[in-house]
Structure 1
Amino acid sequence: MSAEIQASRHEATLILTLSNPGAKNALHPDMFAAAVEALSTAERDDSIRAVILTGADNFFCAGGNLNHLLEHRAMSKVDQGDAVDSLRSWIDAIRDCPKPVIAAIEGAAAGAGFSLALACDLIVAGNYAKFAMSYVRVGLTPDGGASWFLTQSLPRQLATEILIEGKAIPAQRLYDLGLINKMVPDGTTLDVALKWADELAELSSNAVERTKSLIRDAKDHSLSQHFELEKFNFVESLNHRDAQEGIHAFLEKRKPHYK
């Protein structure tokens, strides 16, 4: 069987499963465009309220295929850079998708697989899952935004330890550092992620999408600039049908029903 992105639906949730049998779901060029297209479809489809990224066979992703990377050494540096940009396109698609993207991690997320997890909005991990930025151990440097995500989220010393040592890190430590939202028994991450996605689907899609954009853009602006963005989104939301339903439901002490 070849490497692929398997797409399926569970009610209002799109599930994207990394599948590369026999290679611990290592990334393959065939996956990149398919993942970007699937996320683009999710963005356009109003019936999709959340996306889950997971791996087949109780393993998230072993990262890049080292044999393929050796083959890349025979390519021009321009072509090598284009290959790196393919991963960036996938990371950008996760970040730019207006719907919440939840990573459901079983087994391990290594290298670019760790980068994909960090790009997601929320992370559910199995109790014994492991994470590794092991680029340095094969003489490489991070890609997929890994060094940006970690230095934005952690003190410099901790980010340096993770990126330069390249050792496997247990899920518990990342949970304690705030990088993982939920730790659950192994084998249950997808079920927990689906339940979470179902809960998110009951919220105002307009409010969720606008809030995700505010979170994504916050670190690119000064507080003054961000106040302006918040003002714009608040006013737009106030005049959206969801606000009318949400406010009335709260005052009437009932559950809101968003379209």
Structure 2
Amino acid sequence: MSDANTVPPILVRREGAVLVLAIHTPGKRNAISPGLYAALTEALTGARTDAAIGAVVLTGADGYFCSGGDLNVLATRRLLTPEQRHEKLEGLHGLIRLLRDFPKPVVAAVEGGAAGAGLSMALGCDLLVAARDAAFSVAYIKVGLTPDGGATAFLSQVLPRQLLTELCLTGDRIGAERLHALGVVNRLTEPGGAEAEAIALAVRLAGGPEQATARIKTLCREAVSNSLDAQLDREAQFMVEAQGSAESAAGIDAFLAKQSPDFAALRRKP
């Protein structure tokens, strides 16, 4: 039997221009293990500047996305000072901020379910693909804890306050099909098909214009909190930048010539 300490917290592989990161905690429904946030942060930081990577898929190994914090680990947090607890929490919150600011598309692929911080990580991605039988849960209330990782921020953007409050106060599970109907889940698949669908979507996005993609991600993220005037200013800034870019030149020339633009070629140029 292998030493638990040798088990990598994520499995990493490439599918063309897509980097696939799978949370990996065998036998624990991919509960958060020591080193997970640091491993994901390292992988995403490397992918950020790797021109060969155009998109990322975040998933879970062995048919389950992530069941959240390992309660055996969390039980020891009461022995720490509040400052030490806050420092530990920054591993998750730093990762969520990295996902928020990541310039390339990140697609979550959820099989089985996502609970607690696992739900926060899934919601922190740009797009969400889920198997029909997957279940999601804010979960914290059941063990006397409160949500973290931006779960309430993300859900408040897409759910009515009453439903958000119900999910947080009861910890009840909500199915992927209902979240799809509410617009939280982008794509539904049959069980076992979420990762393949997420990779196909990520491959499509990875072929897009890199700079325009990053700008669009920023616009979509900021639109929720910006006033109309502030958003118009931001759109004007980005449009002015985009109109002078090599990406728009290639895209417009290809459109006028009735061809498909090769944005990937621009990323390969020194």
**Do they fold alike, i.e. is TM over 0.5?**
yes
Q: Secondary structure at the match of 2:183?
A: coil
Kindly tell me the number of residue pairs found equivalent between the two proteins: 259
Partner of residue 38 from structure 1, selected from 14, 39, 43: 43
Please give the alpha-carbon distance, in whole angstroms, between the structure 1 residues aligned to 2:205 and 2:37: 26
Contact 2:65 2:112 in 1 (8 A): yes
Q: Deviations over 1:78-132 (max 9, x none)?
A: 1111111111011111111100100000001011100101101000000100101
Where does 1:85-234 land on structure 2 (aligned, <5 Å)? 85-234=90-239
1:15 aligns with 2:20: yes
* 1:15-41 deviation per Cα after TM superposition (whole angstroms, max 9, x unaligned): 111000111110123111111111111
Selected match of 1:55 from 51, 56, 60: 60
Distance 2:128 2:66 in 1: 14
1:236 maps to which of 234, 238, 241? 241
Q: Distance in 2 between matches of 1:62 and 1:238?
A: 44
Give the whole-Å Cα distance in 2 for the aligned partners of 1:143 and 1:214.
Answer: 24
Once the two structures are aligned, what percentage of the paired residues are identical? 43
Which residue of structure 1 lines up, in the alignment, with residue 257 of structure 2? 252
- 3-state DSSP of counterpart to 1:73: helix
Q: Which moved more, 1:118-127 or 1:201-210?
A: 201-210
For residues 37-73 of structure 1, the C-alpha deviation after alignment (integer angstroms, 9 at most, x for no partner) is 1111111112111000000001100100111111111
Q: Is the 8 A contact 2:105 2:206 kept in 1?
A: no
C-alpha deviation, 1:221, in angstroms: 2.3
The match for 2:72 is 67
- The two structures, once aligned, show a CA RMSD in angstroms of 1.1
Deviations 1:164-212 (A, max 9, x none): 1111111111111100000001111111111111111221111111100
Indicate conservation of the 8 Å contact 1:3/1:28, yes or no.
Answer: no
Output the TM-score relative to the length of structure 2.
0.93
Amino acid at match of 1:109: A
SS class of match (2:88):
helix
What 5-or-longer segments of structure 2 have no aligned partner?
none
> Normalised by the size of structure 1, how large is the TM-score?
0.97
Amino acid at match of 2:88: A
